[in-house]
C-alpha cells in the first residue's frame, strides 16, 4: 500500500525555499560590489581630514592610481599606487614667482599646519651680477645651497619647487612632499580609515540582509 502526499502551492513553496538558499550568496555578492565601489570614497574622505589635498583629486586619480580588486568579499582590496607629489597639490602659494623677486613659499601638507618651504629674497644689483658670473662659470660659487624656490617645470605651463643643494650650479633637485600610498597607510589616517570601512560596510550589510533575507 502506498500513500501519496500532495502539497498545495508546491511550486510557490519550492521557489521560496530556493530563494532562501540563494539569499546569502546574493547578500555577499552585493556587499562585494559595494565594497569595491564605495571604499575608495570612504578612504579619500579620511585622507582629506588629515592632509591638505582634495577628495576629488584622489577619487579622480589625479594623485595616484586607485584600483579595487577581488572576485569575492574575502578577496576585496583597494590598491593605491603613485609617485611622490610636489607641493603644488597641497595648496601651495604663490603659484608663480612674484614679479618683485621676493616671496615666501608655503604649503599645507598636514591639515591645519601651514608650512614655510622657503623664503626667496629680492636680489641686489651686486647679487644679480654675481649670479650672472656663476652661470658663466666665472663666479666663486660661495653658497652651498639655495632656498627652495619656484622654477618652470620641464614641460612648461606651471612652476614647481626646486632647490640647489650644493655648490654645483647644476645640482638642482625638485622638492617633493608625500605620496598617496603614504597618506593612505600613515598613522594619521589608519584608525579613521578602518573605522569608516567597518561602520559603512556594516550598514550596507544590514541593508542587503533586510532586502534579500526577508
pLDDT value at position 24? 81
* Confidence bin at 1 (pLDDT 50/70/90): very low
Q: Which residues of 139-156 are buried (b: 16+ CB within 10 A; e: fewer)?
A: eeeeeeebebbbeeeeee
Residue pLDDT, tens place only, 177-192:
999 999 999 999 999 9
Q: Directed axis angle between helix 10-50 and helix 187-212, to 10°?
A: 160
What is residue 62's DSSP assignment? S
Task: Name, of 126-135, 157-166, 189-198, the range with top average pLDDT.
Answer: 189-198
Tens digit of each residue's pLDDT (9 = 90 or more) over 193-210? 999 999 999 999 888 888
Structural domain spans, the chain: 11-86+180-212
Amino acid at each position: 500500500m502506498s500513500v501519496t502526499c500532495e502539497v498545495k502551492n508546491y511550486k510557490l513553496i519550492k521557489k521560496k525555499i530556493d530563494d532562501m538558499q540563494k539569499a546569502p550568496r546574493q547578500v555577499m555578492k552585493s556587499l562585494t560590489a559595494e565594497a569595491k565601489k564605495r571604499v575608495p570614497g570612504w578612504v579619500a574622505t579620511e585622507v582629506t581630514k588629515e592632509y591638505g589635498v582634495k577628495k576629488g583629486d584622489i577619487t579622480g586619480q589625479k594623485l595616484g592610481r586607485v584600483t579595487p580588486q577581488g572576485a569575492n568579499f574575502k578577496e576585496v582590496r583597494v590598491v593605491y599606487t603613485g609617485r611622490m607629489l610636489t607641493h603644488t597639490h597641497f595648496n601651495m602659494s604663490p603659484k608663480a614667482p612674484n614679479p618683485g623677486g621676493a616671496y615666501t613659499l608655503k604649503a599645507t601638507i598636514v591639515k591645519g599646519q601651514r608650512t614655510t618651504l622657503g623664503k626667496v629674497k629680492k636680489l641686489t644689483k651686486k647679487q644679480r651680477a654675481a649670479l650672472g658670473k656663476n652661470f658663466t662659470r666665472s663666479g666663486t660659487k660661495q653658497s652651498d645651497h639655495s632656498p627652495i624656490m619656484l622654477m618652470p617645470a620641464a614641460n612648461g605651463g606651471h612652476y614647481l619647487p626646486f632647490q640647489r643643494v650644493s655648490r654645483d650650479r647644476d645640482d638642482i633637485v625638485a622638492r617633493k612632499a608625500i605620496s598617496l600610498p603614504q597618506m593612505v597607510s600613515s598613522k594619521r589616517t589608519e584608525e579613521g580609515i578602518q573605522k569608516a570601512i567597518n561602520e559603512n560596510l556594516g550598514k550596507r550589510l544590514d541593508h542587503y540582509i533586510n532586502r534579500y533575507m526577508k
